[in-house]
Every structure is written in structure tokens, then in C-alpha cells.
């Protein structure tokens, strides 16, 4: 293998581990504010920008001496959503994380599980 610099998906590292190579990983969870631009020409009371957020994970995969950060978005939500909707989005993101953790555990990628 010529290095991992071109790899960009969790699946790439799952494949490496499935092939028998040792893959280590750590994770950083982030809530990143973003702004969605709205097409002009809607109603007059419509905003031109909507505050949104991403719940994303930065995985730092290490294979031998090489390491690579892979980012994955787990949910996209409105910064103006209700508390209940925010809880639902967080739950969905955590369930999606659990699925990825299970896939990595299956191929023995070592990772400390964290949740939003």
C-alpha cells in the first residue's frame, strides 16, 4: 500500500482492517455552525440566510506510521429548531454513530466511543 493520503471514507479503513492490517482511530465530535443561503425571490418575510448546524465527527485513522483525518456529517439541523427537535436530531446522529462503531468493531478497529 502506497500510503493512506488518498483515502477519504470510513469504508476505506474498514477495508484495510478487513484485509488484516492494524487500524487505530480516535474521534472528535463537533457541532459546526453553518449558514444556508436561500434563493432570493421567495416571500418578503423570508430570510436570505438560515442559521444551521452540522453534527460531525472527525476520525483520525492511523495505519502504521501514516494517519489521515476523515470527516463525516451525522446530521444537518436548524439552529432555530425547538429543543425537542434538537434532541431528536442528536438521537439520530448518535444512532448513526453506533452503526459506524459496530462496523469498525467488527473488523477490530480500536476506537473509544463518544456520543453527541
The conformation of residue 6, written as its DSSP 8-state character, comes to T
The conformation of residue 80, written as its DSSP 8-state character, comes to T
For residue 63, give every residue at least 6 positions away whose Cβ sits within 8 Å of its Cβ, in sequence order, or none: 1, 4, 13, 16, 21, 22, 23, 24
pTM across the whole model: 0.85
pLDDT one-digit tens code per residue, 57-110: 999 999 999 999 999 999 999 999 999 999 999 999 999 999 999 999 999 998
Q: Are 113 and 28 in contact (CB under 8 A)?
A: no
**Looking at the predicted structure, is the pLDDT value of residue 39 above 90?**
no
Amino acid at each position: 500500500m502506497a500510503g493512506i493520503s488518498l483515502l477519504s471514507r470510513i469504508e476505506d479503513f474498514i477495508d484495510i482492517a478487513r484485509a488484516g492490517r492494524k487500524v487505530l482511530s480516535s474521534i472528535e465530535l463537533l457541532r459546526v455552525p453553518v449558514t444556508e443561503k436561500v434563493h432570493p425571490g421567495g416571500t418578503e418575510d423570508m430570510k436570505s440566510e438560515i442559521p444551521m448546524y452540522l453534527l460531525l465527527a472527525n476520525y483520525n485513522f492511523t495505519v502504521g506510521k501514516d494517519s489521515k483525518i476523515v470527516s463525516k456529517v451525522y446530521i444537518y439541523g436548524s439552529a432555530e429548531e425547538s429543543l425537542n427537535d434538537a434532541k431528536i436530531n442528536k438521537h439520530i446522529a448518535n444512532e448513526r454513530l453506533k452503526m459506524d462503531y459496530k462496523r469498525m468493531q467488527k473488523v477490530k478497529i480500536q476506537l473509544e466511543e463518544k456520543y453527541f
